[in-house]
């Protein structure tokens, strides 16, 4: 069914830049679920007939729940295995303007037994019985068609809460696939591309080659619907970051920001049928929240919403909150609600195809994040966030918070360099510090934070949970890079134990050419012959290491992963590297290099398939305040005295 209609995922994900403290409004309140004493009277799919009329409840503005009339036009009994969808249309003038609205997913639909209200005195529902939730729709069509998820398919979702523990590794493949796809598409400087290539070699054994995409597009009016991600400025989206947010999300540049709720908004609004149902994913100076609608509250306090999945991961643990609607944005394509969270009211505990379900309990946690930014011409600023701990969302949201902080007041100067220091902390006490420099600050944050957090949280050995992230960003004017023009050896023939002196010509960005002296030792015991010698920047160094010594990128456990991360991310971007390579001279088992061995032992280990052959690499680095782009090859002859 998802390929035959766009899903009104009315989980419209709203990125809203906050300008006020949310501490009080988002403090947990466990008395905000309006629990009935009896189950809501409901109707089964088998009772539904074309021509039946009724009402749908939703919020058009503020927290006021309003009805609009609907009429049944058909029932598709087998839209999927054991699944049915009831199709209706609405002639309400508001719905004819907007069509189906993202944010209405979950809006409860109550049907009368015929064309007229069962109870004329019931001004809101007309005595109708609950049939299900607004969940599907068609875009770019005349009129307003509504697909309803039957309530009989939603109720069992809530009944399965607690039947299985939350698997925090669930979603790991999705996270790693998304990161891998994004890294493969990065178009930035050569240094960033080399790091992306290194990361791809790490992630490729754990991924399926890319994230799942949306459904098949049949024509303009019949297609899966993207979830709008609003609140980002146009200049932020113009950074060109490959934001593969997944789930059919669509980034919208609206530049919106939020403040305290208006005086007419009740901050203590409750979760009840037709109310806003919000899933806050980040809070603080940048808010990302999934905004949908509450379908029903069961007598045991279980809240049902959306009428479709958010992630479809089964057991879950994400925050569940009340909220309000600023207004509905009408569109010829995809109309959506502009909504905001109010107070956390519990935890979303179950996430399945037919619905999401939560209760007024606190079983979710958030990671804390601080970002400090120093920008020329601006006072130093610090931003604070809380990010939902989830293997798929946390890497993406943490990076967005950092990149948005960097561009919060203004874009960094076109010609600038960013120094970044990032400290990651995990629940098991492990920490990881990354410190480096880049001339493409936002891309550096993307290609650092996304893979580090995703691999730590979603690796197949020991998935970790992020506790906190501290990011320090210092932007300075000027591009501290240089192009490598050429190189020459002072002596092209040397003996073991001597030093190869290389004179390297580089040209600073918008500067003159200059010569840098680089010294590379020729180890004692080096055999006679010709050797490749390369000079270049960090990109050259990383690529030569990966090609010559692939065992250094081999990962068999969490300690190996952290070692590889350290090598990729903390190899200084600034400086001139020289690499002397002896082809095929080394032997390794796993990541461990073996010492010189008798030829018979070496042959035995090699033939057993337990070891890999690698090239010995002698590396030297000249300290420079420049990131070098380019590589130059040389040949060195080694002779015995």
pLDDT of residue 20: 38
- The pLDDT value recorded for residue 409 is 86
| pTM of the predicted structure, to 2 decimals | 0.85
pLDDT score for 170: 58
Strands 493-494 and 631-638: parallel
Q: Measure the CA–CA gap between 488 and 490, rounded to whole angstroms.
A: 6
In 3D, which of 430, 300, 423, 320 has the Cα closest to residue 370? 423
Instruction: Work out the average pLDDT over 573-597.
Output: 78
Instruction: Show me where the domains of the chain are located.
Output: 30-156+224-363, 367-477, 481-638
pLDDT at 217 over 50: no
Mean pLDDT confidence for 14-28: 46
**pLDDT tier at 254 (50, 70, 90 boundaries)?**
low
CA 264, CA 159: separation in Å to the nearest integer? 36
- Other CB atoms within a 10 A radius of the CB of residue 416 amount to 18
The rounded distance, in Å, linking the Cα atoms of 191 and 438 is: 8
Strand partners, 33: 271
632 strand-pairing partners: 535
Residue that wins the pLDDT comparison between 203 and 342: 342
| 364 phi, psi to nearest 5 deg | -110, 160
CA dist 15 and 25 (Å) reads 17
591 vs 546, higher pLDDT: 546
Q: Average per-residue pLDDT in the chain?
A: 83
CB 255 within 8 A of CB 273: no
Beta-strand relationship, 416-426 and 431-438: antiparallel
Give the integer Cα–Cα distance in Å for 350 and 159.
9
| Token pair for 336 | 């959506």
CA distances from 128 to 4, 37, 38, 73, 588 (A): 29, 18, 16, 17, 73
Question: Rounded to whole angstroms, how far apart are CA atoms 174 and 470?
Answer: 25
State the CB neighbour count (10 A cutoff) for residue 391.
26
Helix (H) or strand (E) holding 282: strand 276-284
63-75 per-position pLDDT tens digit = 999 999 999 999 9
Q: Are 172 and 134 in contact (CB under 8 A)?
A: no
**pLDDT reading at 1 higher than 80:** no
E-assigned strand segments in 25-64: 53-59
Report which DSSP code applies to 232.
E
HEC secondary structure over 70-81: EEEEEEEEEEEC
Residues 6+ apart with CB under 8 A from 425: 431, 466, 467, 468, 469
- Max mean pLDDT range (7-21, 221-235, 608-622): 608-622
Place of tokens 């958030």: 366
Neighbour tally for 190: CB within 10 Å: 19
Q: Which residue has the higher pLDDT, 187 or 314?
A: 314
Q: Which two three-digit tokens encode residue 89?
A: 């249309």
d(CA 384, CA 382): 7
Query: What distance in Å separates the CA atoms of residue 104 and residue 636, rounded to the nearest whole number?
Result: 70
Q: Can you read off the two tokens belonging to residue 245?
A: 């947010």
What's the CATH code, domain 367-477? Answer: 3.30.1490
What per-residue confidence (pLDDT) applies to 462? Answer: 87
Please give the average per-residue pLDDT across 192-198, as a whole number.
73
Alpha-carbon gap, residue 240 to 134, rounded angstroms: 35
**pLDDT of 190 above 60:** no
Distances (CA, A) of 341 to 30, 280, 313: 15, 7, 23
DSSP 504-524: EEEEETTS-EEEEEEEEE--T
Is there a contact between 103 and 293 (Cβ–Cβ < 8 Å)? yes
Give the residue, 21 or 290, on which the prediction is more confident. 290
Section 160-183 average pLDDT: 73
| pLDDT higher than threshold 80 for residue 163 | yes
Give residue 307's region: left, alpha or beta (phi > 0; psi -120 to 50).
left
- The confidence band for 244, taking pLDDT boundaries of 50, 70 and 90, is low
Bridge partners (DSSP) of residue 266 are none
For residue 226, what are the contacts with CB-CB under 8 A and spacing of at least 6? 214, 248, 249, 250, 334
- 216 compared with 418, residue with greater pLDDT: 418
Nearest to 525 by CA among 552, 548, 498, 506: 498
Task: Pick the more confident residue, 233 or 61.
Answer: 61
The whole-number average pLDDT for the span 293-302 is 97
Q: Is the separation of the CB atoms in 58 and 274 below 8 Å?
A: yes
Determine the pLDDT at residue 75.
95
Our CA angle for 291, 42, 100, nearest 5°, is 35
For residue 491, pLDDT over 90 is answered with yes
pLDDT of amino acid 9: 38
Distance CA 336, CA 591 (A): 52
Please give the average per-residue pLDDT across 285-314, as a whole number. Answer: 90
pLDDT tier at 331 (50, 70, 90 boundaries)?
confident
Q: Is the pLDDT of residue 249 over 90?
A: no
Using the predicted structure, report yes or no on whether residue 218 has a pLDDT greater than 70. no
Across 6-20, 34-48, 568-582, 594-608, least confident range: 6-20
Instruction: Tell me how far CA of residue 351 lies from CA of 305, 308, 318, 347, 572, in angstroms.
Output: 10, 8, 10, 11, 43
Calculate the dihedral angle through the C-alpha atoms of 95, 124, 109, 59, rounding to the nearest 10 degrees.
50
pLDDT at 364 (0 to 100)? 93
Q: How many CB atoms lie within 10 A of CB 583?
A: 14
CA distances, 493 to each of 286, 387, 520, 616, 640 (Å): 60, 58, 13, 19, 10
For the cut 60, the answer to whether the pLDDT of residue 252 exceeds it is: no
pLDDT value at residue 300: 97
What's the confidence (pLDDT) of residue 443?
79
Dump pLDDT digits (tens) for 494-518.
Answer: 999 999 999 999 999 999 999 999 9
Q: Which residue has the higher pLDDT, 30 or 608?
A: 30
Residue 96 is predicted with a pLDDT of 92
Name the DSSP letter for residue 261. Answer: P
Could you tell me what percent of the chain has a pLDDT over 90?
51
Cβ atoms < 10 Å from Cβ of 430: 15
Strand partners, 515: 505
Pick from 6-10, 121-125, 252-256, 603-607: least confident = 6-10
């Amino acid at each position: 069914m998802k390929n035959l209609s766009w899903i009104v995922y009315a989980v419209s994900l709203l990125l809203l830049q906050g300008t006020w403290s949310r501490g009080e409004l988002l403090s947990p309140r466990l008395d905000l679920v309006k629990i009935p004493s009896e189950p809501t009277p409901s109707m089964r799919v088998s009772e539904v007939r074309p021509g039946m009329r009724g009402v749908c409840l939703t919020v058009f503005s503020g927290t006021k729940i309003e009805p609009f009339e609907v009429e049944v036009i058909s029932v598709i009994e087998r839209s999927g295995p054991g699944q049915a969808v009831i199709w209706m249309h609405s002639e309400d003038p508001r719905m004819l303007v907007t069509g189906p609205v993202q944010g209405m997913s979950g809006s409860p639909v109550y049907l009368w037994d015929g064309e007229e209200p069962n109870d004329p005195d019931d001004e809101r529902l007309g005595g109708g019985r609950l049939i299900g939730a607004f969940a599907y729709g068609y875009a770019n069509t005349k009129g307003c068609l509504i697909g309803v998820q039957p309530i009989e398919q939603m109720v069992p979702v809530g009944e399965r809460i607690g039947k299985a523990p939350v698997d925090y590794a669930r979603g790991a493949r999705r996270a790693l696939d998304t990161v891998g796809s994004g890294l493969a598409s990065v178009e930035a400087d050569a240094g960033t591309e080399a790091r992306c290539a290194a990361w791809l070699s790490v992630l490729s054994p754990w991924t399926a080659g890319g994230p799942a995409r949306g459904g098949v597009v049949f024509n303009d009016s019949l297609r899966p619907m993207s979830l709008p991600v609003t609140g980002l400025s146009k200049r932020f989206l113009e950074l060109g970051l490959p934001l593969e947010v997944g789930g059919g999300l669509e980034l919208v540049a609206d530049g919106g920001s939020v403040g305290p709720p208006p005086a007419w908004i009740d901050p203590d609004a409750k979760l009840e049928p037709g109310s806003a149902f919000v899933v806050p994913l980040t809070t603080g100076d940048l808010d990302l929240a999934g905004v949908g609608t509450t379908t029903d509250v069961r007598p045991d306090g279980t809240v049902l919403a959306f009428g479709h999945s958010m992630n479809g991961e089964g057991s879950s643990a994400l925050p569940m909150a009340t909220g309000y609607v600023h207004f509905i944005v009408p569109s010829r394509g995809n109309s959506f609600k502009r909504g905001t969270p109010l107070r956390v009211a519990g935890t979303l505990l179950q996430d399945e195809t037919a619905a999401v379900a939560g209760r007024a309990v606190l079983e979710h946690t958030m990671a804390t994040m601080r970002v400090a930014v120093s920008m020329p011409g601006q006072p130093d600023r610090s931003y604070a966030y809380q990010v939902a701990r989830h293997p798929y969302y946390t890497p993406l949201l943490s990076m967005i918070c950092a990149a948005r902080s960097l561009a919060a007041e203004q874009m960094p100067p076109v010609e600038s360099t960013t120094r970044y220091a990032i400290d990651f902390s995990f629940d098991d006490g492990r920490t990881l510090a990354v410190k480096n420099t880049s001339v493409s600050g936002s891309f550096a944050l993307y290609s650092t934070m996304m893979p580090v957090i995703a691999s730590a949280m979603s690796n197949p050995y020991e998935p970790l949970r992020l506790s906190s992230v501290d990011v320090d960003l210092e932007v300075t004017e000027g591009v501290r890079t240089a192009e490598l023009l050429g190189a020459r050896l002072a002596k092209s023939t040397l003996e073991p134990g001597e030093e190869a002196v290389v004179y390297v010509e580089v040209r600073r960005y918008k500067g003159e050419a200059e010569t840098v002296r680089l010294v590379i030792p020729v180890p004692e015991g080096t055999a006679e012959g010709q050797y490749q010698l390369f000079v270049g920047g960090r990109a050259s160094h990383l690529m030569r290491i990966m090609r010559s010594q692939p065992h250094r990128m081999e990962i068999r456990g969490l300690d190996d992963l952290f070692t590889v991360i350290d090598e990729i991310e903390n190899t200084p971007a600034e400086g001139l590297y020289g690499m002397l390579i002896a082809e095929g001279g080394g032997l390794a088992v796993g990541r461990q290099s073996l010492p010189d061995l008798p030829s018979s032992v070496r042959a035995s280990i090699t033939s057993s398939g337990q070891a890999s052959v690698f090239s010995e690499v002698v590396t030297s680095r000249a300290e420079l305040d420049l990131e070098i782009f380019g590589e130059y090859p040389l040949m060195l002859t080694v002779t015995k005295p």
